[in-house]
Amino acid sequence: MRKLLYSLLMGILACYACQDSNSSLGSSLVESSFQNVFNSSCTIDLSTIRLDSIETREDSICHFGHYADTLWGEVTATYCAEYTTASFSTTDGHDYQFDSLVLRMMPSGHYWGDTLTPQYISVYRLKQPIVLDNDQDLYNTTTMSTEDVPLTRFRYLPQPGRRREVEVRLPDDLGRQLLTDILTENDYLDTQEKFKKVFPGLAFVAESDGSCITGFMVNDSSMTLNLHYRDIYNQTTENELTFSVNTEYAYTGVRHNRADTPLDTLQSGIENLIHASDMGYRAYLQGLTGYYNQLEFPDLNDLESAGEIVSVESATLYLYPLARSYNEVSQLPEELRLYITDENNVLEDYVYGSDGVTVQTGNLTVDEMYGRETYYSFDLTEFIRNNFGTSGIRRQKLLMSLTDEEMATTFNQVVFTVLPGQDRQCRLDVRLKIYNEQ
């Protein structure tokens, strides 16, 4: 399940209430008053859920590398890709000379891990062509076998903020044979089906002692095989033939070892969610490994006891990342999505802004200086109003994930902190209007 729409804490926060306005209405018979009351005592039950798989076929960003830490465990990303056939027309009397076969890659700017330590990547030929799964797709759980010996091995040092092109030279024997086959018009180059039987594709595999996973663009000029040759006729002309990734048969595969982490016992499926109170008062959200969240407000109706008649004026959800869990080795997602579900976890809609049209994205606020006031916020006024006073089958819930694109093409992540009684914890602020007869 790749995207929440297509597939899809227990923390009791410090409570206080303060009166910020008071106006009296009265008659000769009854004295009464309206009050606006601010309250943050509504319990947030934030849980972590794991997807069984994420579709990564046809993505414009690929990942490969290895990283391990105490929060998430050990993660290895491998990219497997089929390449499109290519050819050119020869000219009588011209001679063509091989120069080099080069793999060209452009970093996407995404990373997870230690960018100061080089990573080593081996490039293997696939043993067989990539085939789609039974449902005609490719996922982060898909695996392909490779030849025993790599074609090449290269060293790469990630440089966040700099998208400098990377070139890796592949064996000359492979390039010479490819050029020879083109010049002799070998029939396996006629169609894609024939081509991939002879050249099934490549796998980019990280060494297990690496400490970073890096993203690269996948397009007509990145992750390409570039055959450089010379046309020798009167004078030498340098030319290039490009073999691009066939994105229909390319994907990022992910292996995740969660042993000895809070995620160790989490099974896939929403029915197996784990509450934050059972995970050290933390909740986990990450793309490509497939973690997302559920939010409920079990004590919402307790706010009805604030007065004889109570209505919700506004409600704002604040979500705080765990301090020092981002920036140094990981990237916070720029946007989050909230989805409304019914009691059976059937998706009903997004959470929209006050205009009822714009989908909310979490309004990320970053404290660049101290990092203490970094948080996401959502206006939940309409959702809380709709669920205030409801129970059972009428009570809705929320699911939260990365955007569709980030979920499938990044390891961007958040660890939310929901430790009761502590500052800068996830909370729901509700402003109520209450009416009491005097």
- Structural contact between residues 124 and 147, judged by C-beta atoms closer than 8 angstroms: yes
DSSP letters spanning 339-388 = EEE-TT--EEEEPB-TTSSSBP----B--TTTSTT-BEEEE-HHHHHHHT
Boundary-marking domain end, from 256, 278, 307:
256
Helix, strand, or coil (residue 179): helix
Q: Give me Rg for the CA atoms of the chain.
A: 28
For residues 40 and 317, what is the distance between their CA atoms, to the nearest angstrom? 10
Q: Is residue 363 situated within a structural domain?
A: yes
Residue 28: exposure state from Cβ atoms within 10 A (0-12, 13-18, ≥19): exposed
For residues 303 and 246, what is the distance between their CA atoms, to the nearest angstrom? 56
Q: Which pair of structure tokens corresponds to residue 179?
A: 């050029």
Residue 251 DSSP symbol: E
- Structural contact between residues 260 and 73, judged by C-beta atoms closer than 8 angstroms: yes
For residues 425 and 276, what is the distance between their CA atoms, to the nearest angstrom? 12
Q: Is residue 374 situated within a structural domain?
A: yes
Q: Examine the domain organization and report whether 212 and 120 are in the same domain.
A: yes
Q: Examine the domain organization and report whether 92 and 216 are in the same domain.
A: yes
Q: Examine the domain organization and report whether 223 and 300 are in the same domain.
A: no
CA atoms within 13 A on the CB side of 74: 8
pLDDT at res. 32 = 54
Q: Is residue 1 situated within a structural domain?
A: no
Helix, strand, or coil (residue 193): helix
Q: Examine the domain organization and report whether 225 and 299 are in the same domain.
A: no
Q: Which tens digit of pLDDT belongs to each residue from 291-327? A: 999 999 988 888 888 778 888 999 999 999 998 888 7
Q: Is residue 261 situated within a structural domain?
A: no
Q: Which pair of structure tokens corresponds to residue 185?
A: 């018009």
Q: Examine the domain organization and report whether 295 and 338 are in the same domain.
A: yes
DSSP letters spanning 283-326 = EEEETTTTEEEEEE-TTGGGGGGGSSEEEEEEEEEEE-BPTTSS
Q: What is the pTM of this model?
A: 0.88
Give CA 242 to chain center in angstroms: 30
pLDDT at res. 159 = 82
For residues 2 and 239, what is the distance between their CA atoms, to the nearest angstrom? 41
- Name 32's Cβ contacts closer than 8 Å, sequence gap at least 6: 24, 25, 26, 435, 436, 437, 438
Longest dimension (CA), the chain: 112
- State how many domains the chain has: 2
Write the CA distances from 131 to 128, 138, 143, 248, integer angstroms. 9, 8, 10, 10
Q: Is residue 199 situated within a structural domain?
A: yes
Give mean pLDDT in consecutive 10-residue pieces for the chain, a chain of 438 residues: 40 34 37 61 89 96 96 96 92 90 96 93 98 92 97 92 89 96 94 97 95 96 97 85 97 97 96 96 97 94 82 93 85 95 91 92 88 91 92 90 95 93 88 81
Boundary-marking domain end, from 256, 291, 321:
256
pLDDT at res. 399 = 97
Q: Examine the domain organization and report whether 32 and 107 are in the same domain.
A: no
Residue 381, amino acid: T
| Helix (H) / strand (E) containing 217 | strand 212-217
Q: By C-alpha distance, which of 73, 163, 162, 80 is closest to 122?
A: 80
Q: Examine the domain organization and report whether 340 and 405 are in the same domain.
A: yes
Q: Examine the domain organization and report whether 25 and 101 are in the same domain.
A: no
- Structural contact between residues 307 and 33, judged by C-beta atoms closer than 8 angstroms: no
Q: Examine the domain organization and report whether 407 and 295 are in the same domain.
A: yes
Q: Which pair of structure tokens corresponds to residue 22?
A: 């008071």
Write the CA distances from 54 to 8, 134, 215, 244, 286, integer angstroms. 10, 15, 17, 24, 12
Boundary-marking domain end, from 256, 281, 301:
256
Q: Is residue 6 situated within a structural domain?
A: no
- Structural contact between residues 197 and 104, judged by C-beta atoms closer than 8 angstroms: no
Q: Is residue 3 situated within a structural domain?
A: no
Structural domain including 185 reads 61-256
pLDDT at res. 16 = 31
Q: Examine the domain organization and report whether 230 and 323 are in the same domain.
A: no
pLDDT at res. 37 = 66
Q: Examine the domain organization and report whether 40 and 129 are in the same domain.
A: no
Q: Examine the domain organization and report whether 334 and 193 are in the same domain.
A: no
Q: Is residue 385 situated within a structural domain?
A: yes
pLDDT at res. 299 = 86
